Every structure is written in C-alpha cells, then in structure tokens.
A and B are shown apart, each in its own frame.
Chain A
Amino acid sequence: MKTIKLLFLTLLTSTFIVSCSDDDTPQQINEEEVITTMTVTLIPQGGGTTVTLQTRDLDGDGPTQPVITVSGPFAAGVIYNGSIELLNELENPAEDITEEVAEEDDEHQFFFTVGAGLGTVAYSDMDDDGNPIGLAFEFTAGGAAAQGLFAVTLRHEPDKFAPGVSDGVINNAGGETDIETAFQVSVQ
C-alpha cells in the first residue's frame, strides 16, 4: 500500500515538473505561401509606353484591401509582350514566388479573361508537356477604344489536358485559385 502511494506521488510530481518547463516567446511566422504582390508588365513590341497592372496586399488574408494599380491605357492595335511577377513581401527580403510557379509549371496555369473589345491573349511559354503556363504571354490590344476588365487568375493543379484549357479557356480547368484579380483597363 505504502509503495503504491509513493509511486503515485513520484509519478505526479515528475509529470508536473516535466510539463512546467517552456514559457518561451513563440516564434513569429511569416506566411510562406501568400502572394502579396502580382505585377503584370506589358511592354509594347516596337516601343511605346509600358503598361503595368499590379495588385498588392501587404497583410495577406488580413482586413486591408489589396491596392490595385493600372499604370495607363493600352494603345489600340498594339501587340504587348506580357510577363508576370509574383512576390511574397511578408518575408524579408521578399520571396520570389514566380520561381516556385516556374519550377512546378505543370501544376500551374494563368488564365486571362479579357472584356469584349479590349483585345486577345496568346500564351508564349510552355511546360514540359507542351501546355501553356502564362508567366509569359502576348496581348494584342483591340483596334478601337474600349473599357473593361482584364482578369488574371492563377490556378494550382488545374487539369491542363482538359478541352480548351491549353487555349486559355478556364471553364474546364478545375484546380484551386491561388490568385484572382480583375483590373479595370482601357484601350485608347
């Protein structure tokens, strides 16, 4: 009986001692996967004014709205070379997520939903399977003045072989959305 009691007491005290050890300050976590900033740079072939579309949300999922900027209008009929840069500015220095997407190019694809009359997009890059990625593309601005939305969507794990997906049709793509922003643009 005595031994049992003793055993109990030893057990209790030992577990409590073990448990009451760390009271350290937790380590700060800077979210690794958040895309805080997407910059779409459109450089006109044969010179002219570069158009930059940017969305920047420095608190990730936080309450502050992303800041969306459009540097200026597209010139009618001009062909632009487009490229996309993704950053996570929560980390210091900012992490280049473009590289991650490029490395896993078979699991990612950008889709461009362009309003009527604004122009057309054609992919100019491809993954090992010959499917487009969208980090580089060509945008041909519409021939007449127009206004509307230029939406850029990045899908993770889409079905790149589904009908129309390699032509940029998003409806059959599936997958999860990593980023989706609609820019209000105009053609002059």
Chain B
Amino acid sequence: MRIFIMVLAMVTCNLLLSQECKYIFKGTLKDFHDNSVLSSALIYSKSEGKSFVSDENGKFEITGLCEGSLELVISHIACETKSLKFQIKGDRSETIFLEHHIEALNEVVVSGNSIKTESKTLQETSLKEDQLFKYNASSIGDALKEINGVTTINTGNTIAKPMINGLHSNRVLIMTNGVRLQDQEWGIEHAPNVDLTSASQITVIKGAGALAYGGDAIGGVVVVNPKRVIPTDTLFGQTTVGGQSNGWGGFVNSSLNKGFDSGWFINAQGSFRKHGDLRAPDYNLSNTGLEAGGFTINTGLSKFEYGFKVYYSYLRNEIGILRASHTGNVSDLVRAINSDIPLVIEPFTYDINPPKQDVTHQIFKANFYKRLQNFGKLDLNYNYQKNDRLEFDIRRGDRSDIPAVDLELQTHTLNVDVDYDAADAYALKFGILGRYQENFPNPDTGVKRLIPDYNKYDFGAYITSELEYGSGHILEAGLRYDLNHIDALKFYDKSRWVERGYDVDFPQFVVEDRGTQILTNPVFTYNNLSLSLGTRLDLGEYFELLLNFSRAMRAPNPAELFSDGLHHSAARIELGDLRIGQETSNRFASTLFFNKLGFDVQLDLYVNAISDFIYIEPSGQETTNRGPFPVWEYQSNDAVLAGFDFNFSYQFNSSWDFRNQTSYVYGQNTDLMLPLISMPPFQTRNIVGYTKTDWFGFNLQVEHQFVAEQKRFPDNNFEAFIPELGETVLVDISTPPPAFNLFNANVNWNFKVNTTSNLKLAVIVNNIFDTTYRNYLNQLRYFADEMGRNVLVQLQLNY
C-alpha cells in the first residue's frame, strides 16, 4: 500500500515539477480522545484529485505541492469524515485530530436498532422505536408495562403512572430529553407529562443507581430519549395516523428533521390525540374522554468538538375523570362500592365535563457542549419548566367552571456535567446541579390549597466512575450529595394546627394569627447522601452476572408534608406531617443473564430495605357536616420490598418465537409487620410471535396476560353509620379484586413505497374477549370495570 502511495506521490511530483511545485505537506492523524495514532485512514486531496493512506504511525505525506490552498477530506473506519483546508506557502506539518468514537456516540443512527445504554452494571431495559410503535395511542405508563417489573398505578384508564418494582410517583424519576420532569409528580392522579410519540427510545433503570440523574430515585429512573440528531445533509420525516374503536378516538403525529453537512439541524414534531367516553364490556364509562396535543421544536449545531441545542416542548392534556367516582361522603362511597355498575352512566359523548384535569407542561432547554482534547466532554444545560395544573370539580352555584385546584409550578435547573474519557483504564463522570422551584396555588379557586405556596432550592453534586478489571469484568461506583431546602407559606385551620400538635412542635413557624386560620412559614432543609456500587461479571461463554448495591435518600415531597383536606374520589381526609424526615433505601440487586442456542434468560432479583418509608395509612375518623370520614395520614415506618423479574425467550426458528415475563414483589411494613398497600400482584405474560419477512414484513404477536389476586394487603376497612340506612356498615376499601386473564394481539406489515419511503401498518386488538375485570392498582376500582375490547388501526409513513 505504502509503495503504491509512494509511486503515486512520485508521479504527482513529476507531473507538477513543471509548475515549480515543490512543497511538502506532512500530516499526522490522531484520535481526538487519547492521542493514539490512526493508521489506514484515507486522505483525499480535493485540489489534486488524489488519495493517500496513513501509515502505521498515522503519518502521511503529500509532496510536490504548489503555492495555494490544499483541500483534504479524511475518512477512517468508525470516524466522522473531516474536511480541511490548508494554505500552502512552503513545507508544512500538521497534526490532525479525528473523532474515533463516533460509532459509540451515534449508535442509534448507525444502526437503527442498537440501544444506547445508561449504565453497564444496573438493571436496565430499553424499549426501542419498533416496540413503542404500537403505543402511539397510549400513555407512557402503558408502554412501560412492556418492561418486566414495571406496572402502572392508575386513576381510571387514562391516568397511568409507571411503577417500578412496586414504587411510583416521587420515587420514579422521569428524564425526558435530558430534563428531569418537574410536573407535580407526587400525586397518584398526576400522570407524567411525556408525549410518547416524540420518543425513540425509553430506558428503565431499576433502583437508584443512576446517580447522574438524581439521588432520590428509590424506585428507578425512566429515561426518555428523543430521536437522534444526524449531523449530515438529510431530510426525513414520519407521519402516523390511527384510530381506536374504544372511545371512538383517533390520533395523528408527525415529525420532520432537517440536517446540514455543516452540523446545523432543526426538527419539529407535533401530535394530537382525542377520544370520547371509553367503554367497559357492559357499560359506558361516562366522562372518560381525553384530548391531548403538543409539539416540540429542536434546533442547534452539532459539531464533533462543540455544539449547542435549543429545545422547546409544549404539551396539553385534558382528561375526564369517571363521573361516577365523584363522591360527597362515606354514604356515597358505600353506595358506589355496593353497586355492581357505576352510579352514573350516560350515553357516549366526546364532551369532557367536570370532574376533569387540564394540565399544560412546557419545557425550554438550552444545552451547550464542548469536547476537550485529551480530556472528554463538557456539557452545560439549562432548563425551564412550567407546569399548570387545573382540576375541575362538580361544584355548586356555577363554580364548576372555576378550577378547584389551580397550581402553577415553575422550575429552573442549571447543571454542568463532565465526561472524562481520556484514560484507557477507567472513565469518570461528574457534575453539579442547581435548581430553583416555585409553586403558586391560585387563590381564586375558593377552595383550600392542596399544596401551599413554596420556594424550593436544590443543589446536587455527583461523581461516577467505571473501570474494567480482570478479563472483561466491569466495576462502577458513584457518590452523590443533594441538598433540598423548602420554604413554604401555608394557611392552617387553627383547629388543625393544634390537633396535629404543631403548636407545641413548630411555634417558630407561625407568622400571623388570623382568627380561625393561621399563616405559617415552614422551612426545612434536607441533606441527602446517595451511593452506588456495581459490577458486571463475565462468567464464560453463556453467563453474565450483574451485582449492584445502591443507597439513596429521598426528602419528603410537598404532599407528604403539607396535605390537609378532603380527597373527593377517595372520600377521605388526607393529612401530611411536618415531622416526616427523609427515607433511605438500601437496595441489593443481582441479574443473571444466560444466552445459548436461541435461549435467552434474564433473572432480576432484588431486596430493597427502606428505612422511614413514607406512606399514607388510615389513622381514624373525623366527623364533618357531610358525615364521618376516614382520616388517612402520612406516616413513616421501615419497609422491605423484595422480588424478582424473570424473562425467558426462545427463538424456535426464523419464524416462531416465544417469550415469557413473570414478576412478583413482596412488600412488608417491618415495623408493624403488615403488608404494604398497593403492591402489584403476581403477574405473568406469554407472547407467541410469528414473523414472515416475505409477506411485507408480516409479524404477528399473540399475548396472554395473567394477573393474580393480591392476597397480601393491609386491612383498612372501617365501620361507618349510614343515616339513610339507619345502620352501621362495614366499608370495604381494602379487598383487592379477583385475578384475571387478558388476551391481546397485534399484526404488523411493512411496505416499501420507494427507496427512501416505507409504510408501516399495524392492527392491534387489546382485551380480545371483552373480559370484565378490575385492577387492584386502579384507584377508581370501586366505581367501575376496566376498559373492554379495543381495536386500533395505525398507519405510519416514513419518508
């Protein structure tokens, strides 16, 4: 090869001698990251139309150059092609740096199906674009159920929050496009504000080990990644339309991406989804309509050495809450529980009436990065989020149009992350974060504030490292410190302040006595230390083992501290406690992988011991003019959650495959020796797939799901006197519904339209046999059955 170059060079020399071209350009090619030399790179000289190849020392030489400009295009396997221009006035030597890790950086682009991993030693599972396709008309919670060990906790059929190994809400951190979602995630009836159609990959990391995202993810982290930026000249788009039979709904979403060779890019995406009242097998679920819409715009410059990105997203969800779930007092709740059908059933409509939620979430993000030679990458991020939550209730005197809850949560976050990857033996990541959050509950509601006015300041710093040892083993370790400071202004009823004993414990918080109410200024500071330690062991050809320990601390959220009032759909009074401190989780986990001859087995085991676990539990009764209400109080006790997630798949041949996912979690309050409430029951899914590529990429999947009855639950039943019956009755709010079996199926085709376009068609049938069932993890299970059969048809055009 070198001889060839030399010959070539000589020929060039000879040819150019006549023009007195005698200058020499000597180049050395090096890897940007570690200064290692790059051999066998192809160097093309545009000015002369000739090619050269670098030698084993990364060197190349172009001789016989004339005065003027020299244009080189350099390419190397797994490197970004680089164009350079040099002015030649004499002999010249240059060291040229190439980006050698481009493959790792743009994995998703390079091969559409590969997965960008978050960590190497944690229990993590990803859903790719293909798998997300059938969830175009669903919420993120529903899509995540695809992952073993992830369930949802629901309020009706449209509000679904992801639950990882039995933990949810504040214990599950959601990262969307690098932004930690701040959308009042403490409430069970607050669904995450994520537009699934803007995601190309979703990763779930079980446990708190992913410290770069936060130290308080006791349940886990959900990372939603948007489509990757392609820094070359491209234009592509995607449009998906579809419809569903249940609720007679439809959706459309579309995205367009434009990239330039210069590294500039812009992409925009929009979606809209609407359905009317959903239907259970035997009746209409009145007022369960939904209207959701949003868009994102993303633009910036993506160079190898530096770049920036500006991102904005707008998402609005108007969600109807089952009309029959609105109760005024315990008598109403008893009537609802005792009735087999919802107490309000009206004809189908697209109208969404109170009770309903209208939530708008906006994210603005600016990001700047710079790669430093022989060092790594520096990332600077700022994001601003605004969450407006309106909840409308059935109210008297024309007040139904005035929201009963009107919260505006604004969050500013600034963080700097550094990736140090210059060393061969190890990699380091560290960063700091500052956050300011302000909650403003609008007083125009005329209803006591659920969450008070507050300012919250967070500061965090972390360091994580990764190193290889032995033969292919990996060790990861991380440490994180977080400071949370909350400064609230809250009105308490004087009677409540005294009843809670706050007059004795927190007299310093009182600002002003206003007769029946007092204004208080609770201020709390929490210091949290989290750590994570994990290893990946390579146990020969077929086995791999992950071991991980993580310790995480979570400060109580505003609901746990300040709740103080009547919760209508649950007919209970919920009380927070200012005395609650942080909870600390110690989680041990192991994962065993086995892979041989088409068999793929993964077994996740975990024990999560949480001290001062914060939960809400009945503590007595209070009587009002509406009658007596059970009081549910936030408390903290030690708890243990332990369980397994088992995944088995077998590829029979190129057409047939089988998969089983089984998971179980055992949750116990170890102080009171009682089962924990709302733990997902044992469940198992069997999926048989048939693929025939010749039939336009035909793929059929039939799924059977079995969810057992939860036998372990705390008995929170209580007795209440019902005046209209003239007797005292037992109110059964504890007994979980019976086990159920569901069958689902989906068929996919993929048609080629032309060289650059393809069309995907999917038909999905959920709950094929229109099975009637209720779900223990649905907060509205007392009032109505779950959704019946739903047939979805969707069409996606990629161009």
Contact = CB atoms under 8 A, between A and B. Distances in A.
| Interface footprint category on A | 35 or more
B124 interface: no
Of the four ranges (under 10, 10 to 19, 20 to 34, 35 or more), the interface on chain B belongs to: 35 or more
Nearest to A180: B627
A170 B399 CA distance: 26
B328 A178 contact: yes
B328 A177 contact: yes
Contacts of A35: 625
A178 B394 contact: no
Interface in A3-25: 4-5, 8, 11-12, 15-16, 19-20, 23, 25
B368 interface: yes
B147 to A, nearest CB: 36
Contacts of B111: none
Given A63-B495, A100-B397, A181 B625 contact: yes
Interface string A151-188: 10101110000000000001100111111111000000
Contacts of B596: none
Contacts of B494: 59
B625 A36 contact: yes
A113 interface: yes
B192 to A, nearest CB: 23
B724 A170 contact: yes
A153 B724 contact: yes
Contacts of B308: 4, 8
B688 interface: no
A58 interface: yes
A177 B626 contact: yes
A125 interface: no
Given A25-B489, A60-B493, A177-B328, A32 B624 contact: no
B519 interface: yes
B493 A29 contact: no
B633 to A, nearest CB: 12
B489 A60 contact: no
A65 interface: yes
B410 A62 contact: no
B694 interface: no
B495 to A, nearest CB: 4
A104 B398 CA distance: 9
B380 interface: yes
A155 B448 CA distance: 22
A151 B724 contact: yes
Interface stretch (B439-447, B536-544, B788-796): B439-447
A19 B410 contact: yes
Given A8-B380, A29-B446, A64 B397 contact: no
B663 interface: no
B347 interface: no
Interface in B143-157: none
Nearest to B343: A174
Contacts of B366: 8, 11
A81 to B, nearest CB: 23
A179 B327 CA distance: 12
A101 B489 CA distance: 34
Contact of A33 (B447, B493, B622): B447
B412 interface: yes
B491 A177 contact: no
A170 B327 CA distance: 15
Contact of A29 (B328, B332, B445, B625): B445
Nearest to B410: A19
B721 A182 contact: yes
Contacts of A33: 395-397, 399, 446-447
Contacts of A29: 443, 445-449, 491
Nearest to A20: B436
B517 A28 contact: yes
A113 B412 contact: no
A43 interface: no
A176 B394 contact: yes
Contact of B627 (A28, A59, A174, A177): A177
Interface string A57-84: 1111111111000000000000000000
Contacts of B627: 177, 180-181
Given A29-B448, A170-B724, A63 B396 contact: no
11 contacts: A5-B368, A11-B366, A11-B382, A29-B449, A59-B516, A60-B624, A61-B624, A62-B493, A66-B625, A175-B328, A179-B626
Given A12-B382, A29-B491, A63-B499, 14 more contacts: A11-B366, A26-B441, A28-B443, A32-B399, A36-B625, A57-B625, A59-B516, A100-B396, A100-B397, A149-B726, A174-B344, A176-B332, A180-B331, A181-B627
Interface of B: 306, 308, 326-329, 331-332, 343-344, 366, 368, 380, 382, 384, 394-397, 399, 410, 412, 414, 436, 438, 441, 443, 445-449, 452-453, 455, 489, 491, 493-496, 499, 511, 514, 516-517, 519, 565-566, 573, 622-627, 629, 721, 723-724, 726
Enumerate the 9 nearest inter-chain pairs by beta-carbon distance, A residue then B residue, closest first.
Answer: A151-B723, A176-B328, A32-B446, A177-B328, A63-B499, A182-B723, A27-B443, A100-B397, A59-B495
